[in-house]
Chains A and B, each alone.
Chain A
Amino acid sequence: MSTTNETQPQDSALVRIEGVEKTFRRASEDVHVLARLDLVVPPGEFLALMGPSGSGKSTLLNLIGGLDRPTQGSVTVAGERIDTLSDRRLADWRARHIGFVFQLYNLMPVLTAERNVELPLLLTHLGKAERQKHVATALAMVGLSHRAKHYPRTLSGGEQQRVGIARGIVTDPTLLLCDEPTGDLDRKAGDEILNLLQALNREHGKTIIMVTHDPHASARASRTVYLNKGRLSNEPVS
């Protein structure tokens, strides 16, 4: 964003979704998941996305994270239309802009905590020493420096998720996307994760979009939107 003569529209949104539809082709019928959906996320927001199971929360998150493309409409992130990028360009784009945190942590079981956190950095041009520095910082931020050499199976669920978050933020992405990050954790571990996300948002200015169906979790967010029957609203449907 250093060039001043770029013809980018003065967009206050970090994520802008316009008229997005998503239809899955199943063997027999078409499943319409998202219908003409609009969403704007300003930078620095901690947005919670709620809705009943199967309402399309993950689908929407995948569209924002460039893991999938909409059937209709446009997805613009940090001023760039991503729904029209090729698979390859999209992969590069994800590496630069998106950090993912998954419900089931999804760590590589064959790698230690620090090697897991290092994975996204392998895609950058950083040398080994620099990668190690970034990894150490990220692990320190999630309070797991002492677990760096541990394998995921030797860590608790909460610790694994903190490694997952460290992996999500190690490249300092534009956007952190979390799909039910506390869905598999007990209340105490879940709270720790939420504290961490909140701190990342408040102290480090990270923009976070978090899918959850736990009201306790969404209460930590700066805003909550509800997805139901393919549409978004600011109020939960009764």
Chain B
Amino acid sequence: MKYAHLVWGNLKRKKLRTLLTLLSILVAFVLFGLLCSIRQALVGGVELAGADRLVVRHKVSIIQLLPESYQARMERIPGVDLVVHQTWFGGVYQDPKNFFMQNPVQPEPFLAMHPEIVLPPAQRDAWLKTRTGAIVGRTTAERFQWKVGDRIPIRSPIWGQRTWEFDLVGIYEGRDKGTDTTPMFFRYDYFDEMREEGRGRGLVGWYTIRVKDPSRAAEIARLVDQEFENSPAETKTEPEGAFAQAWARQIGNITLIVAGILGAVFFTILLVTGSTMSQAVRERIGELGVLKAIGFTPAQVLGLVLAESCTLAGLGGGLGLALAWLLTVNGDPTGGLLPLFNFRTADLLLGVGLCVVLGVVTGLLPALQAMRLRVADALRRL
């Protein structure tokens, strides 16, 4: 690139202006990286959910409970392979800041339903034998330095005043990189017996159904909802992905908010960079005229200006993305609230794409202006 020194020299001409423009691009791309990671943390589960799984929840809202007896009725529906339930425990370990999910489940069908939870056979057996037994994912175990055999005290204001004590019998790994390994699972039979009178004994949070034939999932979802029509607790059955999204909707339409913020940020950055570039061209019309007089073709002049805007965008954006990557590489910064927090390669590539778009869009108009410049006119302006 024998013109590099010319492009670089022009960028260095107004150092402060270039620096400020670079900084605003950098900040925008750091923000982009962080928001992508947060978005991923909040809606990432949607993409990971299995296609053959349906989630059955109370028709009115996700926090309303369903009778335990629904399990047997759902198992009788043709096409249903397996039914398990979970309940939101909402416990606190030592300090409310130490957030992680703990749900009571039925160990055997639960593990069958979730092959992405990988538990050594010996620990699995121990769990089946221990009523107070619980298993926890690798992430949380490492976070609190728990070992198998530890006794874990947890309080949950939802289910009574007492402190629950769990015996840690297993630590599971995730089968895939995206598998959430923060939750703790413990036995439903222990939970149901120990929860206080009047706190929903015999009721569970939601069901997960595995269907035999994923192509019939929609039809089976309809059958399930029909089964409980006109009962006191009507249901709403959705594919697991949609269920995860319903969770996300509880805290607002994340993707839309993120897209909105990023849209505003990039619009601003577009204006900032665009105005820098058009100033850069306006203040050197004469020089561009000289280049043309020397014999630079219209296309070469266009290229020079575009190279300048793309260098700006590439440098600012590249540094911004790198910084965002550094800030997110250690995962969840909240210590548990956002287990899936990560800056995905796909988002990184999107960022690189945005860099290119920024460079081209902000450079194009000034570049065209420079290209169309008539030499004789440009030289008269000196």
User: Which A residues fall within an 8 A CB radius of B?
Assistant: 58-59, 62, 65, 67-68, 87-88, 91-96, 98, 100, 102, 104, 106, 108-111, 115, 119-120, 122-123, 128, 167
CA distance A95 to B294 in the complex (A): 6
Residues A100 and B9 in contact, CB atoms below 8 Å apart: no
Contact A88-B298, Cβ < 8 Å, known A102-B290, A108-B287: yes
B13 nearest in chain A by CB position: A110
Residues A120 and B294 in contact, CB atoms below 8 Å apart: yes
Q: Which of B3, B292, B298, B375 contacts A122 (CB 8 A)?
A: B3
Contact A67-B375, Cβ < 8 Å, known A92-B297, A94-B295: yes
Q: Which of A96, A100, A104, A128 contacts B293 (CB 8 A)?
A: A100
Q: Which of B6, B13, B298, B379 contacts A67 (CB 8 A)?
A: B379
Residues B295 and A120 in contact, CB atoms below 8 Å apart: yes
Residues B286 and A106 in contact, CB atoms below 8 Å apart: yes
Chain B contacts with A in 364-382, Cβ cutoff 8 A:
374-376, 379-380, 382
Residues B9 and A108 in contact, CB atoms below 8 Å apart: yes
User: B17 contacts the other chain (Cβ, under 8 Å)?
Assistant: no
Total count of chain B residues near the partner, CB < 8 A:
27
Residues B382 and A106 in contact, CB atoms below 8 Å apart: yes
Q: Which of B3, B9, B287, B300 contacts A106 (CB 8 A)?
A: B287
Return the CB mask of B271-299 against A: 1 if under 8 Å, else 0. Answer: 00000000000000011001111111111
CA distance A59 to B299 in the complex (A): 25
Q: Which residues of B contact A58 (CB under 8 A)?
A: 380
CA distance A96 to B297 in the complex (A): 12
Q: How far is the CB of B10 from chain A (nearest CB, A)?
A: 6
Q: How far is the CB of B289 from chain A (nearest CB, A)?
A: 8
CA distance A42 to B380 in the complex (A): 28
Q: Which residues of A contact B10 (CB under 8 A)?
A: 110
Residues A115 and B5 in contact, CB atoms below 8 Å apart: yes
Contact A94-B5, Cβ < 8 Å, known A62-B376, A68-B376: no
Closest 10 interchain pairs by CB? A95-B295, A110-B9, A91-B297, A68-B376, A94-B295, A67-B375, A106-B290, A62-B376, A67-B376, A120-B294
Q: How far is the CB of B308 from chain A (nearest CB, A)?
A: 11
A104 nearest in chain B by CB position: B382
User: Which B residues fall within an 8 A CB radius of A?
Assistant: 2-3, 5-6, 9-10, 12-13, 286-287, 290-300, 374-376, 379-380, 382
B2 nearest in chain A by CB position: A122
Q: Which residues of B contact A110 (CB under 8 A)?
A: 6, 9-10, 12-13
Q: Which residues of A contact B6 (CB under 8 A)?
A: 108, 110-111, 115, 119
Q: Which residues of B contact A91 (CB under 8 A)?
A: 292, 295-298
A96 nearest in chain B by CB position: B295
> Can you list 19 residue pairs at the A/B interface with Cβ under 8 Å?
A58-B380, A59-B376, A62-B376, A88-B297, A91-B292, A92-B295, A92-B297, A95-B295, A96-B295, A100-B290, A100-B293, A104-B382, A106-B379, A108-B287, A108-B290, A115-B6, A119-B291, A120-B294, A128-B2
CA distance A119 to B294 in the complex (A): 8
CA distance A162 to B109 in the complex (A): 89
Q: How far is the CB of B284 from chain A (nearest CB, A)?
A: 9
Q: Which residues of A contact B9 (CB under 8 A)?
A: 108, 110-111, 115
Residues A100 and B294 in contact, CB atoms below 8 Å apart: yes
Residues B295 and A109 in contact, CB atoms below 8 Å apart: no
CA distance A16 to B290 in the complex (A): 25
A121 nearest in chain B by CB position: B2
Q: How far is the CB of B285 from chain A (nearest CB, A)?
A: 12
Residues A94 and B379 in contact, CB atoms below 8 Å apart: no
Q: How far is the CB of B89 from chain A (nearest CB, A)?
A: 66
Q: Which residues of B contact A92 (CB under 8 A)?
A: 295, 297
